Each structure stands twice: as C-alpha cells, then as structure tokens.
Amino acid sequence: MPLSDQTLTRAEELIARYPQRRSALLPILFLLQAEDGYVSPAGVAQVAQLLGVTKAEVGAVATFYTMFRRRPVGKYLVSVCKTLPCQLRGSREISAAMAERLDVPLGGTDESGMVTVEEVECLAACDGAPVVQVNTENYERLTTEEVMELLEALLRDEVPPPTFAADGSVTEPSTARLHWRLAGLGDPPASLGAPASGAEPAGQRIGREPSPPEPTEQREAGEPQPAEGAGAAAPEAPTDPEPEAPEAAHQAPGDEGPAPEREPRPQAGEGR
Amino acid sequence: MTDQVKVLTSRWGDRQAYDIDRFTELDGYASLDAAFERSPEDLVQLVKDSGLRGRGGAGFPTGMKWGFLAKGTGKPTYLVVNADESEPGTFKDMELLERDPHALVEGVIVSSYAIGCRNAFIYLRGECGWPGRRLQGAIDAAYDEGLLGRDIKGSGFDLDVILHRGAGAYICGEETALLSSLEGQRGQPKLRPPFPAVEGLYRAPTTVNNVETIATVPWIVRKGVDWFRSMGTDKSPGPKLFSVSGDVISPGNYEFPLGVPAREVIMGAAGGMRDGKALKAWTPGGSSTPMLTADHLDTPMDFEGIAGAGSLLGTAAVMVFSEDVCIVRACLNFTEFYAHESCGKCTPCREGTDWMRKILGRLESGQGRTEDMDTLKDICDSIFGRSFCALGDGATSPIVSALKFFRDEFDEHVSGGGCPFPGARVAVGAH
C-alpha cells in the first residue's frame, strides 16, 4: 500500500485535528506525495477509503491544486516565478535555460530523476525578483548564470544555501521531506532521508544578502521599545530622515556572496 | 512629506524577533492582559471604533465584519486567517511571517477572544517554505509557553490554532474558496449570501481576515483608538504595509500611514526609478487593480483616494513599470496569470480570460487585428460583474486601464505588425 501503516497512524493524527475528517485531505495528499513522489492512483484509493469519500472526489481535489503532482517529481523541485515583476527581471530566460540544460519541457524531470523544473505564478517575494525556489525555499535576484550554477549543484546532489539562510531559511534536501513538512506533522521521519546539514550551511551563499546583523548595543541603548517607537513615529517621527536614495549602509558587511551590489530587504527597524 | 511609521514593522530589524523570548522583551504578547481585562463585546466595539479596514484587498471594516457573526446558533465560531498571499506584486504578509511570526499569533489570540472562537485556522500558501516554518515555530512556542491551549494566562480562555497549508491556487485567497479548500474541497468560490459570518467553515459562523489585519489588532488593543486614528485618514485610518516592486531602485515593503501620496512611496521610500527611466504605469494594489500613470503620483494611497483616481487600493502592492515596459506584454503576462488561476466555475471568467490571453498573444506576436481592441473591451464587459467572485473582475482591470491610458500602443502593435519594443527583454510565452 502507498501509505505505510506508520504513516497511516500519523494521518489519523491529522484527521483528529479537524472538526471534520475531510479537512485533512490536503495534508494527507502531501503525505502521500512524500511517500510515493506523486498522487498515485493506489494512493488515491487508499485516501478515499481513509476519509470516507469517493476516489473521484479525491481525484477532483488532487487535480485542482498545482502542488499535487500526477507524475513523480524529482528530488529537487525548481520553481521559477513567471509573473510580471519577475518576468521584467529575466525569469523567462532563466526557466528556458534550465529546461534546455535538463533537456525537458517546463514541468519535466531530468533523466536522473534529480531535478524537476517548472514555471509558477507569483511567489509573494517580488522585491527579490527574479525569484527561483528549490523545494519552496527562495533563491532571489540571481542572474541566469547564477541560477545555472545552482542547477549544476543540484544535479550533483548538493544544495546551496538559500538567500536568507543566515536568517533561518533552510532548503529541504528532498521533495519527499518537503511534502511531509507541508502536511503539518513537523520534522520528517528518518525514512525520508537526512535533514539539511546544519542551520548555517558552510557553502557559499547564492543570492542576495540577508538582513545585516544589528549591533546589540544600539538595540539595547538606542532603539525605542516598539510601543513607544510606534507611538512616537506615528504623526511626527522626527528622528529617522527618509533616504533620498537607497542606503549603502544596508549592505551586509563582509559578505562574499556572488552579487555584492544588491540591497537586502528594507529593514524598518534599522534607522531607515 | 509623510514619514514612514514603525508599527507592524517595528520588530523587523531585530533578527531574533521570531524567538518568543525576544518577542516578549519587545512587548510582544503585551496586548493579551489588556484584552482579557475587557469583555469580548468591548473588544469588537474597540475594533469598530478604530475604523480598521481589512488589509487583504477589499478594505471592509473589520469590526463590522466581526459584528455580523451570527450569535446563538449553537455552532462554534471560527476565525480563519487568510495567509494565502498570492495577488501579483504582494509580499507583505510573507515578510511579516518571516520576521515577526508571533505578531500574527498574538493577533489570533486577541481576535479569537473578541469573537468567541476556540478553534482558529491559519491558511498559509504551501509554496512559501520559510514563512511557514517560522510560523509553525511560533505556534509551537506559544503552546509551550501556555499562550495557546487551555486557560491562556489564567483567563479561562481556551484556543487551539491549526496551521493549514494550501497546495497552489490563487483563488483560495478568495474567502469562500479558501473555506472550501479548508474543508478538503476544490477551492471554488460560493455564491453569497449566505455570507461566511452566517454560514462559513462547516456551515458555522466564520470570519476570514488577512494576516496584516489580524496583526494590527493587538496594537489597537494596547494603544487605543485615538493613537490608531492619529495615522491615516478619517475613513482609512492606521498604518499600512506597501509592497513596492518592479522598476524601482529599492523594491521592498514600506510602512506608511494610509493616505501617503504614491509619489512618496515610489520616488521616496523605494528610491525612485531604476536607471533614470521614466515611470510609465503603476498598480496601486496588485495586478487586479486598474493601472495608473505618472499623472496620478500625487494620489493619496488610501481606499478613497485611489478609488477617486479610478482604481482600487487592493493589497497596496505597488508594481512600477518604466517606459521600457511594453504595456501589451504586461497585460499578456497578467492575463496568462488569470487564465491559469481561474477556477473554472463561472463561464465568463473561465472562457473570457483564455480568449483575452489568445488575443493579447497575437497582438504581441504581430498577428493582431484592428478590431482586437474592441473585442478585448467587449470581453471585459462580459466578464466584469458576471462571475461569483472578484477574480474575473480583477482580470479585466489591467486590460481596461491599459486601453484607457495606452490605446496608442495597442494600435501600434497592429499597424507596426508586432511589438514596437525592440530588444525585447522577454521572449513571449508559447501560444
């Protein structure tokens, strides 16, 4: 059976969270994908029985959502945002170059089963355009050449740290682990492979800078508590002059990332 | 000159704010005691008096929405937080969850107490990995600290929060579609009435509120109505996150009082235009809001001001396009989005978006016909107001506004036998 007995026990845990069993359908489909790599026909039958609905109902739901797959997905799912802010920053060239390198149409998986590349709609990180994701973790503001380096690393089964690795962003080292996590059951079991190594991966960071470290002295001494800060900032806010242009001070100091000219996200709490 | 404010963004500069201890040091969860001292009815009244309007796009008054929740039904009342941020150009909620996830959890606790909810749901986009991990960590920590679960801080109030991930569907940002999805159905909208306040999740009274809306509530509880109303305008009070993207020097989220002139957001905070280019068009609130032009830069960015200019504030997602952007190609990109994301339930939206995609595609590739612009207008007329939800209406916004301001450019695509923008930055997708 597609879902192991152990996983079925965990599925019951999901079902118990909701006032109605059927609400667990999306999370359980993610579990199924974690185990089978896609929404398999045998899995559909099993899930239908588990939730007391028909196979047609499960199929109707599975085919509605883009994250549920009808064919096995690669170990790494590379998603390129194609919506306008990213298109203006060259996302179409990026996705085309990757598809050519893998010799697959968009949505396809390379021969080795390592990488699936797809175009997706707006990923809600438009300030980081062009946005590329690996297993739903963001790699932002990369050139086509940098994305191709990322792709080659993935084909070697190496996972470069995502853009905001220093702030806590971690790329799951397989879609199986990712899909387990999306089900909402916390850390994936060992049977789905080892977790990403270390919270602060040693590899060279790819992408734009994370938020620069904040000097603790400044925070303790100068930063107002959010309550007063917000209140005082409301109509008068005299202390923080607006920059005429983006501030060079936002550059993360001493970072060796491949594209040092980029500005990180604006930091509202950093003397903007 | 309108100064930026630091309310929702007040903790964003602190890289440890996601941690519950640091969050608490920064006055996080301080609204709980203030809330539990009041009656739930008082809190609903407070939010009504504050004038807080929904930050997810529609701008409906939050307190009034809560006030509509049916009472005495014998069913539970549900709070569902809409964290399915997917309107093109919008990235405020995800950054809030990345940097300050407890702010949402705090808002969920206070809001749930106000409306009598014991089971709250947060519907988060599945595609957003890091914000999801941060939010799950915050929920777990809140349980560990006794801020969720039974008898929160000795108040006698119980609350469970379930983080539920979507699986890739823009339409699930529409509240009735979101609720269908949460029930394990296809994410398709339902006809209203009945409104969710009467028959929502599991046919029980339900309110669906945006992340930013709920994260704003604790501030109102702590600092009061007068403080909140000291920002913004009479009808659109309070602070607001503006997501600025596109051809500006410093894209990002900026927090201003509502009513800030667009010029100060685009040319000030976001650093102005890249490469010294001229501004051609901008959206005030995502792709579903009609585009405006450089002539509208002094428009105050509040619900009334933007409506007065013929558009909508939407999610305050300001996408900025320079003179180098082909407006037909921009419309094609957005229309591909709507054609892909239309749930297929209503014929005008399902068929109309696909026809428009094809017509724009042929205009861009040099196969356009002189009557195409009229046909596009006709199709927009046939979609607008003729679908269950706002997706169809939104799909017409870029095209109707582009034809209004840039009709010449469409004509040039026909008379010139194709796109007049040489060295196109983007290859047109397959059609």
CA distance B265 to B292: 14
Helical packing angle, B347-364 and B327-341, nearest 10°: 150
Sheet of strand B160-165, all strands in order from the earlier edge strand to the far edge: B160-165, B117-124, B77-83, B206-210
The answer to whether the beta carbons of residues B92 and B212 sit under 8 Å apart is: yes
CA A27 from centre of chain: 17
Closest to B254 (Cβ–Cβ): which among A83, A120, A266?
Answer: A266
Q: What is the pLDDT, as a whole number, of residue B374? A: 98
CA distance B257 to B6: 10
Instruction: Write the DSSP symbol of residue B276.
Output: G
Residue A166: exposure state from Cβ atoms within 10 A (0-12, 13-18, ≥19) = buried
Residues B128, B129, B132, B134, CA torsion sign: negative
Distances (CA, A) of B319 to A159, A262, B173, B238, B394: 32, 19, 19, 22, 15
Report the b/e string of A148-161 with b at 16+ CB within 10 A: ebbbebbbeeebbb
Distance from CA of A59 to the nearest CA of B (A): 10
Distance from CA of B83 to the nearest CA of A (A): 11
Instruction: Residue A33: list chain B partners with CB under 8 A.
Output: none
Per the structure block, which two tokens stand in for A74? 């690669």
CA distance A117 to A119: 7
Window B:179-198, CB contacts with A under 8 Å: 181-187
Q: What is the pLDDT, as a whole number, of residue A1? A: 66
Q: SS3 string of B132-181?
A: HHHHHHHHHHHHHCCCCECCHHHCCCCEEEEEEECCCCHHHHCHHHHHHH
Per the structure block, which two tokens stand in for B335? 């229309």
How many Cα atoms are found within 13 Å in the side-chain-facing hemisphere of B385? Answer: 2
Beta bridge partners of B281: B293, B321
Pairing mode, strands B77-83 and A137-140: unpaired
Q: What is the pLDDT, as a whole number, of residue A210? A: 55
Residues 6+ apart with CB under 8 A from B186: A60, A61, A64, B180, B343
CA distance A229 to B140: 28
Give the confidence band of A211 by pLDDT, cuts at 50, 70, 90. Answer: low
CA distance B431 to B418: 15
CA distance B344 to B29: 43
Residues A98, A102, A103, A109, CA torsion sign: negative
| Cβ within 8 Å, pair B127-A167 | no
For B336, name the nearest residue in chain A, comparing CA atoms only: A83
Instruction: Residue B15: list chain A partners with CB under 8 A.
Output: 167, 211, 213-214
Q: What is the pLDDT, as a whole number, of residue B422? A: 58
Residues 6+ apart with CB under 8 A from B99: B11, B12, B17, B18
Distance from CA of B397 to the nearest CA of A (A): 15
- Residues B363, B368, B374: CA angle, nearest 5 degrees: 95
* Consecutive H or E run containing B79: strand B77-83
CA distance A183 to A14: 8
Instruction: Residue B93: list chain A partners with CB under 8 A.
Output: 124
- Per-residue pLDDT of chain B (431 residues), as tens digits, is 889 999 999 999 999 999 999 999 999 999 999 999 999 999 999 999 999 999 999 999 999 999 999 999 999 999 999 999 999 999 999 999 999 999 999 999 999 999 999 999 999 999 999 999 999 999 999 999 999 999 999 999 999 999 999 999 999 999 999 999 999 999 999 999 999 999 999 999 999 999 999 999 999 999 999 999 999 999 999 999 999 999 999 999 999 999 999 999 999 999 999 999 999 999 999 999 999 999 999 999 999 999 999 999 999 999 999 999 999 999 999 999 999 999 999 999 999 999 999 999 999 999 999 999 999 999 999 999 999 899 999 999 999 999 999 999 999 999 999 999 854 434 444 33
CA-wise closest residue to B427 among B333, B327, B353 = B333
Residue with tokens 């808002």: B107
Closest to A234 (Cβ–Cβ): which among B5, B202, B252?
Answer: B5
CA-wise closest residue to B105 among B19, B13, B179 = B19
Instruction: Residue A68: list chain B partners with CB under 8 A.
Output: 167-168
Distances (CA, A) of B115 to A88, B36, B198: 44, 13, 13
Q: Is B424 on the interface with A (CB under 8 A)?
A: no
Per the structure block, which two tokens stand in for B56? 């997810």
* Consecutive H or E run containing A220: helix A216-221
Strands (E), B1-70: none
The answer to whether the beta carbons of residues B50 and B63 sit under 8 Å apart is: yes
| Cβ within 8 Å, pair A124-B319 | no
Per the structure block, which two tokens stand in for A212? 């620069």
Give the confidence band of A168 by pLDDT, cuts at 50, 70, 90. Answer: confident
Query: What is the phi/psi pair of residue A185, to 5°?
Result: -105, 20
| Cβ within 8 Å, pair B251-A237 | no
Residue B374: exposure state from Cβ atoms within 10 A (0-12, 13-18, ≥19) = exposed
For B23, name the nearest residue in chain A, comparing CA atoms only: A226
The answer to whether the beta carbons of residues A121 and B88 sit under 8 Å apart is: yes
